[in-house]
Amino acid sequence: MQRVLRIQASLGTAIREYLDGQGFTELLPPIIGPVTDPGIRGAKQATINFYGREYKVMSSAILYKQMMAASLGRVYFFSPNVRLEPLETATTGRHLVEFVQVDVEEAGATLEDAMRRAEGLVAHVWEHAKTRLGDELAASGRTLNGASVPFRRLAYGEALEVLSKLGREVPYGVEIPWDDEELLSRQFREPFFIHDYPRGSRGFYDREDPDRPGMLRDFDLLYPEGYGEAISGAEREFEYAKVIARLRETGENPSKYEWYLDMLREGIPPSAGFGIGVERLTRFVCGLEAVWQARPYPKVAGVFSP
């Protein structure tokens, strides 16, 4: 555990090194707010009484980073998140109730820009781990394969075809389930993208392609070797009317998003970004069996612990 935590600290340094070098500004993350990301794959949000009003503990700072990118251009948070995951996630090896995500956002960026930024970050951290953490990794018996840019890209439909050939049938229009994602990840030796998820499979803030109705301009980056999702990102919906429609479509009450909608009504620039989980990154780099091994005092669904 001491070795893992030393490696994790160094990976954080590498992340900041890359983003700072690309002109990003690190900001203090929000911890609570009137709303937080509702698109969290079956997990529930944690709430607190904030002077008589219900506030949410951040499950993702995605709405806030969209606001700050409108002000500062290129921003990132090391953001603590809390998601009350379903009990079955306790055995996936990939889920924590409490975790840290590096949230990245860039005003004026496109889907392609965000994907290049994500692979640039991962490639930089990968090289950092191989060149500066070799002794620590060798002591853990871990050897990293390559991470040559550009990473392979699979459209969502292509990913479903690969899974079908492996005997896994995933209905079109849903996010790829965790166990199928893990199987897909095992087929690769380097990180790879899945992009262009269909509308309805992701959050209201992922922008629909204006030239391809029903298709979102978003992506996941997966680690190889069965480690699964590393990064999730997208262009953002930034037009007031479209966000209202998407909120209603997903069953969300627009009145809960008052501050966010006020911002969109006044007008903000388009942006794109992504989030990368620090514990999942540590798990992959160190070759750990489960993500809870990449965090002191881990919180796992249904397990009462410090």
DSSP letters spanning 103-153: EEEEET--HHHHHHHHHHHHHHHHHHHHHHSHHHHHHTT------PSSPEE
Structure letter (DSSP) for residue 219: E
Give 260's contacts (C-beta < 8 A, 6+ positions apart).
35, 63, 67
Indicate left, alpha or beta for 29 from its phi (over 0: left) and psi (-120 to 50: alpha): beta
Q: What is the mean pLDDT of residues 145-158?
A: 92
pLDDT 10s digits, 18-46:
999 999 999 999 999 999 998 787 899 99
Residue among 268, 194, 274, 203 nearest 234 (CA): 274
Beta bridge partners of 107: 271
Amino acid at 274: F
pLDDT 10s digits, 241-297:
999 999 998 888 899 999 999 999 999 999 999 999 999 999 999 999 999 999 999
To the question of pTM greater than 0.85 for the whole model, the response is: yes
Check residue 41 and give its pLDDT: 79
> What is the C-alpha end-to-end distance of the chain, expressed in Å?
16
Q: What is the mean pLDDT of residues 88-98?
A: 94
Amino acid at 110: T
Give 124's contacts (C-beta < 8 A, 6+ positions apart).
14, 17, 18
**CA dist., res. 76 & res. 94, Å (int):** 23
Helices 178-185, 156-165: axis angle to 10 degrees equals 80
**CA dist., res. 190 & res. 251, Å (int):** 38
Domains and CATH numbers, the chain: 2-294 (3.30.930.10)
| Residue 145 scores a pLDDT above 90 | no
Antiparallel, parallel or unpaired: β 218-223 and 228-235: antiparallel
